Each structure stands twice: as structure tokens, then as C-alpha cells.
Structure 1
Amino acid sequence: MKQSERGDAAQPATFGPGGPLKGRAAVPGDKSISHRALMFAAMAAGRSRIEGLSEGGDVRATAEALGAMGVGIARRLGGWDVDGVGAGALLQPARALDMGNSGTSTRLLMGLVATHPIAATFIGDESLCRRPMDRVIAPLSRLGADVAASAGGRLPLTLRGLSGAVATEFRLAVASAQVKSALLLAGLNASGTTRVIEPVPTRDHTERMLKAFGADIETGAMEDGERLVSLKGEAELTPRIVAVPADPSSAAFLIVAALIVPGSEIRLDGVGVNPTRIGLFETLRAMGADLTFENPRDLGGEPVADIIVRHSPLEAVDVPPEVVPAMIDEFPIFFVAAAFARGESRARGLAELRVKESDRIAAMARGLRAIGAKVEEAEDGLAIEGSGGDPLPGGATVASELDHRIAMSFAVAGLHCRQPLTVDDMTPVETSFPGFTATLRALAAA
């Protein structure tokens, strides 16, 4: 049997045409918020409670790494209790921290370790070890952290933190919520005020949650669309109860599935609709999607809503550059929606997708061509001539490239192909959406 790079047996799965998707589905907790909830609870002195935490492999990697540095984390009564140690009190880990496939875990924990007097070695699977970490290494080195990385700024790497670090100002050349968050996590245990200037606003879960935990943090707009985040260091965070919304990035796959399969109508409850995360939803609406938010409300400082989506004829769209940061993780499934739209859709400015869990531009171009879509690949994006709503031929085996979003995207595409397609390995999906295949098939069988 074929083995994945993680050492697990590969799990191929076939997805083909069936009935419309109907009913209500549960979506895992937001992965981005889950990582942050664990880390901020770890930096609060005392016990925090987290409800709705994502239980995929990526978030487990964060929890296990924090546990190795002295943080008590235990599942109790359907939620998670975190016994935080307070900023500056992480312990020297006795072993390397295995990040699995999680770039978010790696970059954010590097920030956390950077201002602690400990050394941590970060390792990961082969896919993660191909991803460059220079965007985090360079600014953390300015704070005084000593980083010894593998060639190209990659894992495995060892980071030695600095006790008594002095806060500074960072101007990000490329908008990145992960880099911003790593610097703010480092700033929690630095003296003075850390200032991060980002060229355009990125997802703001870190800022919202730090404020909820009692940090002295301010945000504001600057000239030319830049955004300033200021955090007062040597913070004393207060334990709290955190409710994690359902993950909009995970919901996106079910939403597009309902949009492209005739006769579908589904409901997803309690999905996060933070304005910095709903670029895909806005883009789908611009394409003609029947996608509505009901019962909008606040959940622990994050806006959430119930999402109702019905099959819709989609029109091609050019994705505006200003929307790209708010849907950067959702482009693989957007490309699937575009493949079934009427006309040519274009998205550029996506060079970051080349260095995700896979080269997502190349992986999606190859897979879509294999199932009969017309695709033109550029260095920083794709142009896709849609089918006008007709099924694609299908009938191919598509490589997931050990990337959960690639695997789920082609699982969805297979639902509206004339011949079933096979995804060569669905095991990567466990990093973010355990039970995805069962959820998709339950909706199709409803």
C-alpha cells in the first residue's frame, strides 16, 4: 500500500455524481482561532476554558508543543481546559516540537519562544520542511532570537529565545497574519511597545483575542491603507472562557459543493463571518451565489452567523486585488467554483500560494486540467474558463500533494463530474476537517 510522507497509509477516495446536497452540517472549530486560543490561554496565569476547539492535526500539534513547554492542556466535559503559565514562564522542552504539517503552529510558536529564555527545535513532515520560514526568522532575529535553520530558512530549525527582549517596530513587506501574530506573541514578553505595520489589513483574530484576554493593544489605520497594531509588552493576561466559531475556511468546501450541484440546499450553523475572512463568500455572491447569513451574533468577540446556501448558476469574476488577503486560504475551492461558472474567471497576486502546504497554483492547475477544465497558469495566479454549469468530464486520479485544501477541493469537484474522480490521498484532510468525507456524503444522501 502506498505510504504518505507522514508515514501513514495513503487513503485514496472516489467522488462522483449523486443526488443534491440537503440538510444541516456541523463544521469544525475555526483553526486559526483555535491555535491562538491555546497560545493566549497558555500565556495567562491560571485556567482558561475553550469550547469548540478544532481537533484536527494542526491544532493538536500546537497543543502538544505547548504541553512540552509546561502548559497543562486536558479535554474535559466536551471542552478543553488550559492551565496557563503566564508570559515569560514557558519551560525548556525536553524534545523537539513536532509541528506535523502546520505552518501556523510553527510560525506562531516561534514568536512565542523568541522572548523566552529557552531553546526549541521545530521539526515537521516533509511537506512542512519545504516551506520557508524566513519571513518570521528575520524579524524575530531583530528582537534578539538566535535561529539556526536548515538551508533556505526551512525546518528543522532551532530557535533560542532572548530573556529581556526590548520591543521594536516592524513594517511588513508582505501582508501576513501569521507573521504579524508571531511578532505580537513575541511582544507579550518584551519590554516596551511592539508596533507592527502591515501594508493592508489581514485577519485580525490575534488582535481581537488579545484584547479579550486583557492585553493593552490598539489598532488604527495609517496613510495609504496601512494598518498599525500596537501592543504593550510584559503583559499580564487574564484566564477566560473562549468559544471558537465554526471555521469559514472549512465551511467553504461545503458551500461550493452546494452551489455547483443542482438542487442542493444546506445550512451551516455558527460559522465565523469575521470581515477579514469572508472574501470568498463576497466573491461567490458577486458570481451570483444564493448565499445568505441568518441570525448574526457575537461569539467571544467574533461575529458569527448561520449560513444558508442553495445551488446557483455562477458567472465568472475577476478577483479584485484588495479581496485577496481575505480569501487567501480559500483559493483552491474558489478555482473549483470558477471551473463551473459561465465565462473566464481570473485571479492574480497569489504568489504566496506557491509556498503553502503545496504549490497550490500548480496543483490546482494540474488537477483541473486532468478532469477537463480549461486553465491558464501564470506565475501568480490562474485564469479558468468555466463550464457554464455543465458537469466536467472527470474520470481522472488527482494528486492531493499532501495538502488538505487540494484534497477537499477535488472531492467537491467530483460531485459534478460526468465520471467519478479519485483523490489519491485524503489523509491530509485530518489536519483541518476530520470527518469531511463522511459529512459530504451524508449531505448527498440526505
Structure 2
Amino acid sequence: MSKFIAQPAHSLSGQLKVPGDKSISHRSIMLGSLATGITKVTGFLEGEDALSTLKAFQAMGVEIEREGDNVTIHGVGINGLKKPSEPLDLGNSGTSIRLMSGILAAQDFDCELIGDESLSKRPMGRVINPLTEMGAVIDSNDGKPPLKITGGQQLKGIHYDLPVASAQVKSCVLLAGLYAQGDTCVTEPAPTRDHTERMLKGLGYDVRVNKNQMCLSGGGDLTATEIQVPSDISSSAFFMVAAAIAPKADVTLTGVNVNPTRTGVIDILKLMGANLSLSNEREIGGELLADIRIQSSELKGIHIPESLVPLAIDEFPAVFIAASCAQGETVLTGAKELRVKESDRIQVMADGLTILGIENEVLEDGIKIQGGTFQNPTQMIESHHDHRISMS
């Protein structure tokens, strides 16, 4: 177990570039591997989750070269993956197991997807159900990993209404749709991150988007390209909050991904009164980037609009810290999804805030936080092996 000690800072200032976006890094490996030709990726995130995806595709016969955050993928084509010699260990990566389930459900070989203790507790029925409807054969441990996928199934396209807004489930179904007979359409109840759709288009695949519905036809091909991964807005959120709550702070984050389906954290912090601005906005490879400047702010508590919840689902642990330093009460509802992340992020954050002297009330689908002053903790705060809890 690792232990970290945080100490107060008297000021926070400077310019920094946060490492690459995790969501885009995952997808660059998956789609680059299925493309025909050589895909070159710059800015790849060298974190354990993205590396789990990379190693899994290497295990399926894809030649991938990595030098720092530069990755070269020798694509094998849409039907070029080979049977791995052992189960694919995806560590703690929910993105890897859910998106890859869609791809592997259509292969002509059997495979097994496993993960660590945390991943083995996460619900997979949300991808198993639509994939089964498409014709996949998947065995699980009561809806949880490991997943045993039987190869040689001919998938058929479906029209699927997401019961809960989830980019991972949407992407899983669309990736399975690449191999399915006919059209595959996914309708979502609220906008979620659209990196899969953007990257498919960037690799030459026809994806039809009509408001909250995404459709594609099976049987096409992906063409290799160059992918530049912008800085991860989820990782940037910690620095945004730190600058907003620290005295005499002035921080600029460069080249951050500001895809409209990911900027909920920016909208929430602005509603709370954060002194935050965007500049140098540009588009690279179908993704929007900007430099973000954050200065010391007088934050106020708000009732977070539920419409912003899917657009900030990974950033709420950091938002809870901002709420703890705000004047008044902050209320979050409609965020039950937080309970099935790497940890139960509602309960775990509530426990940590209580240790720090912040009054809070846990709700079934959210939390109420009373702004206050952090107290010296009298016991260790347990992160439950959740990186976003640790960073918060």
C-alpha cells in the first residue's frame, strides 16, 4: 500500500501541460489496431489503464512500438486479430473491458477478459445484454468479470436505447456494429463523450449522428492515420480545483481537450464562481483543444444541474473538493453511476470529507456538501485503490 502526505501551499502558479487524454489513448490503440496501415499516435497516456489496452492488442498479434508518449501501431485490419495464448488481463480498466467486449464478441476465436480485484466487482451486464441481443455468447461471474467470450458468432445490427447515459456502453455496441450485419444504432438519454464516433470518422468510417442517436453499418474498413492525443481534462480538473481554492493562484493548463461532451467540470466550476477562462481554442484531429487559465476564486455552493452529470462523471471527486471550500451548500443528484466506478465514489469521498471535518450527507444518487474548512485528519484516508480519490 502506498502512503502520501499532502501539506498546505501558500500559493500556486505557473503553466503546465497535463499528460494525454485516457479515453482517446484507449481508442487510439483499439481502432489503430483494427485499421489497415500504420497509425502514429503522439501524446499517448502512459498510465496503467491505457497500457493494459496496448498489451492486450499486442497479445492478439498487433505489432505496437512505444517510445515514451509516441506510439506506432501496425494495424492488422478489421478482421486481423489473432487468438491470445492466455486470458487478457485488463488490470483496473473498465474502459478496456467494456469497449473490447464489443470488438471481441465478433471474432472467430474464444477469449477471456480478466482484471484485478476492483474490476472484478464492476457490473458488466450493461454491455453483456446488448451484445447478447446482437448474437454474442458471453459467460460471466453473475454479471461481473471474468468474461468468457465464445468466438465464431455472426452478429446482427440492433437499435439500442441506452437505459443509462454511458459512453462505454455506447462505444461497445458501436464497435460490435463494425462487424454486424445491417445497421447498428444507439440512442442515448443524455449526451456522453463522443471520442469513439470522432475517431471512427477520422479513420474513414461512416458514422451517422442525428441528435442523440448514432448509427453505422457493418462491413466497412478503417484506414490508418495520425492521432494527436490532447491533454486529459479529467486529470486537468484536479489542477483547476487546486488553483480555484488556493490563495494567490494563477495556473494555465495548455492543450487541454475541451470536447463539448467532456466540459461539464468547466461549466460546474463557472457556476460556482470560478475565475476560469479559455483561450487559443483550436481543432486537431477532430478534437477541440484550448488553454485553460484558472485563478484564485471565491466559490459558492450550487445545486449541480443533472444535465451536466454525464459531461463531468469522472471529475466529481475533484468537484467535491471545490464544494468543500465553497460558501454554502452544494447538492449533487442524478449521479448514481458514481457508485459503480473504481470505487463507490460517493461513499468513499463522503468518508474522506468527514475525516477532514467537512459536513456532508450521502444521497442514493448523489451527495450534499456543506462548505467549510478542512481540519487536520486524525486518521488515514483510504482511497480504495481509486486514482481519482487519491488525487482529490
TM-score, normalized by length of structure 1?
0.86
Which of these residues, 86, 97, 102, is aligned with residue 88 of structure 2?
97
Structure-2 change in CA distance of 1:294 and 1:396 (3 Å): farther
What residue identity is the alignment partner of 1:264?
Answer: A
Q: Please list, as runs of the form range in 1=range in 2, the aligned pairs for 1:372-391 lying within 5 A after superposition.
A: 372-387=357-372, 390-391=373-374
Contact 1:353–1:360 (8 Å) recurs in 2:
yes
Distance in 2, matches of 1:396 and 1:90, equals 49
Residue in 2 that maps onto 1:165: 155
CA distance in 2, matches of 1:280, 1:51: 25
- The whole-number CA distance in structure 2 between the counterparts of 1:395 and 1:315 is 27
CA distance in 2, matches of 1:112, 1:67: 15
The 8 Å contact of residues 215 and 232 in structure 1, kept in 2 or not, is answered as no
How far 1:18 moved relative to its partner? 2.2
1:161 and 1:324 map into 2 onto residues whose CA distance is: 37
Cα RMSD of the aligned pairs, angstroms, is 1.2
**Alignment check: 8 A CA contact 2:194 2:261 kept:** yes
Matching residue's letter, 1:398: I
- Asked if 1:348 corresponds to 2:338, the answer is no
1:288 counterpart = 2:273? yes
Tell me the amino acid that sits aligned with residue 68 of structure 1. A
- After superposition, residues 174-253 of structure 1 pair within 5 angstroms as 174-221=164-211, 227-253=212-238
1:255 partner SS:
helix
CA contact (8 A) 1:144 1:162 kept: no
**Conserved? CA contact 2:137–2:153, under 8 Å:** no
Structure 2 CA distance for aligned equivalents of residues 182 and 12 of structure 1: 36
SS of 1:139's partner is: helix
Q: Match of 1:407, SS?
A: helix
Task: Please list every run of 5 or more consecutive structure 1 residues that lacks an aligned counterpart in the other structure.
Answer: 1-9, 222-226, 410-446
User: Could you report, residue by residue, the CA deviation over 1:271-314 in whole angstroms, capped at 9, with x for unpaired residues?
Assistant: 00011101011110111101111100011110000111111010
Q: 1:38 aligns with which of 29, 45, 48?
A: 29
Give the Cα–Cα distance (whole angstroms) in 2 for the partners of residues 157 and 213 of structure 1. 29
3-state SS of paired residue (2:314)? helix
Q: Which among 261, 264, 267 is matched to residue 246 of structure 2?
A: 261
- Per-residue deviation, 1:191: 2.2
**Alignment partners' CA distance in 2, 1:212 and 1:18:** 43
Alignment partner for residue 406 of structure 1, among 386, 389, 392? 389
Deviation of 1:393 after TM superposition, in Å, equals: 4.1
Give the direction of change, closer, same or farther, for the CA distance of 1:15–1:77 in structure 2 (3 Å limit). closer
1:256–1:47 CA distance, 2 compared to 1 (3 A): same
2:46–2:69 Cα contact (<8 Å) kept: no
Secondary structure class of the residue paired with 1:183: helix
Q: Deviations over 1:200-237 (max 9, x none)?
A: 1211111111111000111012xxxxx11011211211
Q: Is residue 116 from structure 1 mapped to residue 107 from structure 2 by the alignment? A: yes
Q: Unaligned stretches of 5+ in structure 2? A: none
> Contact 1:122 / 1:155 at 8 angstroms: preserved in 2?
yes
1:328 aligns with 2:319: no
Could you tell me the percent identity over the aligned residues? 46
Does structure 1 conserve the Cα–Cα contact (< 8 Å) formed by 2:134 and 2:158?
yes
1:21 alignment counterpart: 12
Q: Name the aligned partner's letter for residue 286 of structure 2.
A: G
* Deviation per residue, 1:331-363 (Å, 9 max, x gap): 111111000000000001111111110011100
Where do 1:38-77 residues align within 5 Å?
38-76=29-67
Is the 1:52–1:243 contact (alpha carbons within 8 Å) kept by the matching residues of 2?
yes
Letter in 1 for 2:276: L
Deviations 1:60-96 (A, max 9, x none): 0000111111111111485100011111221111111
Q: In structure 2, give the amino acid aligned to 1:87.
A: I
> Paired residue for 1:416?
none
Tell me the amino acid that sits aligned with residue 293 of structure 1. L
Q: Deviations over 1:27-50 (max 9, x none)?
A: 110000111111111110111000
* Greater mean deviation of Cα atoms: 69-78 or 333-342: 69-78
Residues 77 and 375 (structure 1), Cα distance of their counterparts in 2 relative to 1, 3 Å cut: closer
- CA separation of 1:325 and 1:404: change in aligned 2, threshold 3 A: same
CA–CA distance in structure 1, aligned partners of residues 67 and 6 of structure 2: 36
Distance 2:365 2:100 in 1: 29
SS of residue matched to 1:126: coil
Helix, strand or coil: the match of 1:254?
A: helix
| Aligned position for 2:116 | 125
- Whole-Å Cα distance in 2 between the matches of residues 391 and 200 of structure 1? 35
Distance 1:40 1:186 in 2: 12
Q: Is the 8 A contact 1:88 1:115 kept in 2?
A: no
How far residue 19 of structure 1 moved from its aligned partner, in angstroms, is 2.4
For 2:295, the equivalent position in structure 1 comes to: 310
Per the TM alignment, residue 142 of structure 1 is displaced from its structure 2 partner at its CA by: 1.3
Q: Give the aligned length.
A: 392
Query: How much has 1:169 moved relative to structure 2?
Result: 1.4
Q: 1:38 to 1:203 in 2, by over 3 A?
A: same
Candidates 264, 268, 274, aligned match of 1:279: 264
Once residues 107 and 266 of structure 2 are traced to their aligned partners in structure 1, the CA distance between those partners, rounded to angstroms, is 40
Shift of 1:112: 0.7
